[in-house]
Structure 1
Amino acid sequence: MNDPPRDGAEHPESLGECLRRHRQAANLSLADLARRVNYSRGYLSKVETGRAPGNLALARRCDQALATGGALAALVRHASPMAPPEPTPPGRPAGVATHDGSADDHPGVESVLPTSVPLPPGLASGVAFMLALDATHGALRRVACADLSPERRYDAANRAVHDAALYVAREQLLVSATVPVVAAGEAAFLRLIAVRDAIRAGAALAGPEYHAAYHPFAESLWAFRMALRQGFGQEPVTPALLDRNDWSDRERCADCGAIVSR
């Protein structure tokens, strides 16, 4: 095994130090690199400053983006000799946009799913897309709560979808998943876009316009989850099993009750 790179002092370079050095040598900002490797800017910043350990999947992506010849992955393998030699499944889309367009610090699906049991590509892309749908909806809700002008609100809703890399996750799903998973995922995607359109147009979280779009999305997201369960060979979960009337969330929605009584 090659010796780890050194920073000119007595101690080997950390992953974060090596990453910052190569990124700066490539004249890339954290935001630039985040877009290239499909991780959030906030998470990359934590890795560079030592507040997050990073992982082999991230190191490999950065090696490719920065043309480092595998130096970053070598650092991770030196620190963790049992790190798997093969790439992990495709990761979760990059960090989710807040109402002002900044990104959160979610590292990716690699940190959520066990890397010791790699998923088949179709199921990995399905899980990544499910997480992207849910995270994008959370970002859109924050836009709906923000005090923004109509123009800024429109732009922020668009960024919430774009910065979560939802379209990238969708493309991965379309080319790798089974037909039932693709069909369920596309239905959920279209209903989430309807939520985005309502929020772009000014819908408030407590208003009927938002709820008219949200509850069909909630129902379709659960249908997508059930399609994934089937792909994993698991028996379906019914709403009754989770003490629900259906998957729409309407019976748990205080705002819908208030809307009806108006």
Structure 2
Amino acid sequence: MERLGECLRRYREAAGLSLSGLARKVNYSRGYLSKVETGRAPGNVQLAERCDDALGAGGVLAGLARAQLPDPRPAERAGSRDRAPGVSIGLLRQGGLDQAMSHRRPDEPLTTAGLSVSSAAAVAFMLALDEAHNALRAVARAELSPQARRDPANSALDEARVYAIRERLLVLVAAPLVSAAEAAFLRLIAVRDAVRAGARLDEAAYHQVYHPFAEALWTFRMALRVDLGQPPLTPDALGRQDWSDRERCRDCRKRDWPTT
């Protein structure tokens, strides 16, 4: 079977588009598209569908993307009739979730079994935000010039599928949870921008954007608990002063940095 990246490059070149031109049309970064074309990133169904539309590929790319998804485990196939309508294994896997919604074995870790479509989207977005932030930390730790940081910092959000999952969340989830999620997303964008500009992990420029993000992410988690019918937790219940992580931050304790 032809690889998605090879087919994508063939259709892009036939359309006379550069990687940058296609990136603008499908709202993915040039760096991520390059990785998909060269096989360094697997791509995903949503990207393939957008490229089908932009390149007039008639669904060929989306078909390849779906065909190249990992096969579900036998337990997943056996339980497929019992899943909530509209929730696919592909959607959960692409969102960073690693198991099916039903037929969880007793020895398997708890994931999204039994969640509604909207709750599953919110959990996927929470995990994507955390994954993207961890990738941004790696960029901030690396010895890179600001110019060399731009592509990996952008790719941190693309590869965690933050933008794609955010689109689902905006249309599936109730307003209070969307507001908390969007606040965390905007704080993550501030972290990305600071890292792109050269902020390092042990510098004030990073901590001034990281701690507001940490606080917003915890607020989103608590909003998700309420959405799932659980009482919210307080920082004190988890041995914290607040949700910002400042009191646990060694760099902040050693330096007298502004907190805003």
Partner of 2:54: none
Partner of 2:165: 169
Q: Deviations over 1:97-156 (max 9, x none)?
A: xxxxxxxxxxx3143x64343421211110010001000000000000111122111221
Select which of 36, 42, 58 maps to 1:31: 36
Partner of 1:228: 224
Select which of 152, 177, 184 maps to 2:180: 184
Alpha-carbon separation, structure 2, partners of 1:170 and 1:23: 30
Report the TM-score when normalising by structure 2: 0.67
Q: Deviations over 1:152-201 (max 9, x none)?
A: 11221111112211111111110000111100000000011001111111
Alpha-carbon separation, structure 1, partners of 2:197 and 2:247: 26
For the Cα contact (< 8 Å) 1:93–1:132, is it kept in 2? no
Partner of 1:135: 131
Alignment of 1:91-110 (within 5 A): 91=92, 93=94, 108-110=96-98
Partner of 2:102: 115
Mark the CA change 1:79 to 1:126 in structure 2 (over 3 Å): closer, same or farther. Answer: closer
Alpha-carbon separation, structure 2, partners of 1:71 and 1:170: 24
Partner of 1:251: 247
The one-letter code of the counterpart of 1:202 is G
The one-letter code of the counterpart of 1:88 is S
* Equivalences, count: 203
Mark the CA change 1:36 to 1:23 in structure 2 (over 3 Å): closer, same or farther. Answer: farther
Partner of 2:144: 148
The one-letter code of the counterpart of 2:162 is L
RMSD: 3.4
The one-letter code of the counterpart of 1:65 is G
Partner of 1:100: none
What secondary structure is seen at the aligned counterpart in 1 of 2:242?
A: coil
Partner of 2:88: 88
Partner of 1:160: 156
1:93, distance to aligned residue in structure 2 (A): 4.6
The one-letter code of the counterpart of 1:109 is L
Q: Percent identity?
A: 47
For the Cα contact (< 8 Å) 2:146–2:198, is it kept in 1? yes
Mark the CA change 1:195 to 1:79 in structure 2 (over 3 Å): closer, same or farther. Answer: closer
Mark the CA change 1:122 to 1:201 in structure 2 (over 3 Å): closer, same or farther. Answer: same
1:83, distance to aligned residue in structure 2 (A): 3.9
Select which of 49, 63, 66 maps to 1:65: 63
1:65, distance to aligned residue in structure 2 (A): 2.6
Unaligned runs of 5+ in 1: 1-21, 40-62, 95-107
The one-letter code of the counterpart of 2:102 is T
Alpha-carbon separation, structure 2, partners of 1:234 and 1:171: 25
Report the TM-score when normalising by structure 1: 0.67
The one-letter code of the counterpart of 2:97 is V
Unaligned runs of 5+ in 2: 9-34, 48-60, 104-112
Alpha-carbon separation, structure 1, partners of 2:4 and 2:45: 17
For the Cα contact (< 8 Å) 2:46–2:164, is it kept in 1? no
Q: Deviations over 1:47-92 (max 9, x none)?
A: xxxxxxxxxxxxxxxx963288x8989x757787624235536325
